[in-house]
Structure 1
Amino acid sequence: MTTPPDPNDAPLFDLNVPAPPTPVERLLALAGLYTRHNDRLDLLLFGHLPRPDPDACAASAHRLERETFAAITAIRQQPLPAIEPVTGAVVRLKQLAHLVGGATRYLTAAQHLQPPRDAEHTRLLARELTALAPLTITDSAVHIAARLPTTARSTTTVPGMDADRRDALLNVARGHIAVTGHDGHQRVYHHNTAVDAEMLRRLEAEGLLTCEPASAPPLFHGGPPRDRARLTTLGTCALSTVIVFPHYLSRLTGSPALMPVPIPAPGAPATPHTRR
C-alpha cells in the first residue's frame, strides 16, 4: 500500500515554474506557509471537530524553521548593500527562525502533556511565537526587493495590475483575508485595509489567488471555519514585481503577461464586507 504524501514535505514553490524562485518570491511563499501553519494551529485550538492532527502542527513548525533558514541563505547569496533596511530585515528573519524553533519544541512537548489543559496552554504559547510571522516576512520582502539587482527580480507581469490589485494581493500575502459565504452572500474579513468580495473574485478569475475552503479559524470558539484567501504561484510572482514600486503600476497596465502555470499555492477577524 502506498503511503499518502505528507503536505509538510511539499515543495515551497511550484516546480513547474520555468525559473527558480527569486528571493522575494521565496519570502512571499514562506509567508503563505506561516499563514497556513497558524490557521492549522488555530483550528486545533478553537475550531470544531474534527480538528487537525497535533502531530501535523509540530511537523509544520519544524518545516518552517528549515524553510526560514533556507530563505535567509538565499538572501545572503545576493549582492545586497550592508545598510540598515537590509541588515534589519535579515535579523528579523533570523529571529523568526529561532521563534519557530521554539514553537516546534512547544508543539512537540504538548504531545506528551497531561491533563489536556496543559497541552492546550503549551500550544497557545507556540501560537504566539508565530503570530506576526507573515507580516514580518512580507515587510522584510519589501526591504529586500527594493535593493535586489535586476537579475534577481521576477519578470512576471499581468495585465491591469493597479494599486488596488497590488494592495489586495499584499494583504492576502500577509494572511489578512478570510471569507465566509452563506444565504447568497459572501463576507470578506480583513484587518485594516478593506478588500471587497468583487475584487477577490476578479483576482481569483485571473489566477492570482485562491480561497481554500474551511482552512481558516472560525469567528468564535467552536464555530465553523472560514475560507482563507491564498496567493497562487502566479500571484506570488506577480506581487513580487510590484511589492516595492506601486508608482510604476501604470506602466505595467496592459503589458503582455509572462505567465507561469497558475497553480494555487498551498487571521484575526475584523469588519466584514458583504456582497450579494
Structure 2
Amino acid sequence: MTTPPDPDHTPLFDVDAPVPRTPVERLLALADLYTQHNDRIDLLFAGRASHDPDGSVSSARRLERETLASIKAVRQQRLPAIEPVTSAVVRLKQIAYLTSGATRYLTAAQQALPEGDAEPARPDPRRGLGQYLRLARELTALAPAAIVESTTHIAARLPERARSNTTVPDMDATQRGTLLEVARGHVIVTEQYGQRGYGHTVTVDIDVLRHLEDQNLVTREPASAPPFFPGGPLRDRVRLTSLGLSVLSTVINSPLHLGLAAARPVPAPAAAATTTRVRR
C-alpha cells in the first residue's frame, strides 16, 4: 500500500512487507486489513482487549483511504465498462462509504467513554460505547468477502501487464479454495477439541493448511481471533503471507490452474522455515 498512515495515531494493524504491486494483490491485502480491524473489535466485545479509541478511529480512516486508493489503482487499468466489472467497482465504492460510516460510529464511541476513561470489561452492545462499536462493526462485517468477490471479477479483465505471474508447484483446486477462504477472513484454527481449522461454514482441512504454511503462503497469528463462546480460549487467525497474496492473485479467477502454463513458478522459499507453523 502506498497511502501514508495517519501521523497522529498508530493504526491497530500492520501492513505486511513487501508492498503489494498489482491491483489484485493490493485488493487482497485490503481484505486482510479489514479482517484484522474486525477481529480487533470482536476481541473488545469478548472482553479480551482494551479499547483504544484513537487507534480505532485512525484505523477506520486508513481503511477508507486504502479502499479509495485501491479503486483508483483499478481504474487506472482502463478496464472495460461491462458487467460484472462495473458492479465490482461499485461494490468497492460502497465499502468505502460504509467504512466512512463506521468511522463516524467509532468517533461517537470515543466520545461515549465513561468519566475517567473507565470502561467495562465487555462493552454492552445495546447501549453507549458498546452500541457504537457494534454499529461500526456491522458496517465493515462483510468487507473482506465482498472485496475478494469483487477482485475475482476485476482480475479476469486486467491486462497482462497488471497481472502477477507468481505460482508455486502443484497448486490444486483445494489449495486455491483454501487460500480464497483465508483471503475472505473465514479461516481460524483452534486446538480446544483437537486441532481443527474452520472456514465460514465448513471445516478446513488442517493438512491443507499445514501444506500451505510450509510453502509460506499462509501464516497463523496466535490468539488474534475471538473465542467461539464467552470465556473460551482465543483462536488463531490464518492470514495470507506476502507470497500468498501474489500466488492467489495469479490463480484467483482460475479454478484449476487454467492459463498458467507461461507463469513463473516460484519454489517455497527458505524463509518459510521461519514462519509460524501449524503444530502437530
TM-score (norm 1): 0.84
* Partner of residue 205, structure 1: 214
Distance 2:259 2:271 in 1: 23
User: Deviation per CA, 1:208-267, whole angstroms, max 9, x where unpaired?
Assistant: 000100111111234322100000000010001111011335966x973177896899xx
CA distance in 2, matches of 1:118, 1:227: 30
SS at structure 2 position matched to 1:79: coil
The correspondence of residues 144-155 of structure 1 with structure 2, limited to 5 A, is: 144-155=154-165
Secondary structure in 1 matching 2:50? coil
Q: What CA distance in whole angstroms lies between the structure 2 residues aligned with 1:260 and 1:76?
A: 33
What is aligned with 1:99? 98
Structure 1 residues 76 and 258, CA, compared in 2 at 3 Å: closer, same or farther? Answer: farther
Q: Do the aligned partners of 1:40 and 1:52 also contact (CA within 8 Å) in 2?
A: no
Structure 2 Cα separation of the partners of residues 9 and 178 of structure 1: 18
The count of residues paired between Structure 1 and Structure 2 equals 257
5+ residue gaps, structure 2, are 1-8, 120-126
Could you tell me how far apart the structure 1 residues matched to 2:270 and 2:37 are? 25
Alignment of 1:1-276 (within 5 A): 6-8=10-12, 10=14, 12=15, 14-15=17-18, 21-48=21-48, 50-113=49-112, 117-182=127-192, 185-248=194-257, 256-257=265-266
Indicate the RMSD between aligned Cα atoms, in angstroms: 2.8
Q: Which stretches in structure 1 are left out of the alignment for 5+ residues?
A: 266-274
Aligned-partner SS, 1:176: coil
- 1:114 is displaced (CA, Å) by 5.3
Provide runs of 4+ in structure 1 moved above 4 Å.
Answer: 7-10, 249-252, 258-265
1:114 to 1:240, Cα distance in 2 relative to 1, 3 A: closer
Q: Cα offset for 1:129?
A: 0.1
Maintained 8 Å contact 2:12/2:56? no
> 2-side partners of 1:256 and 1:31: how far apart?
25
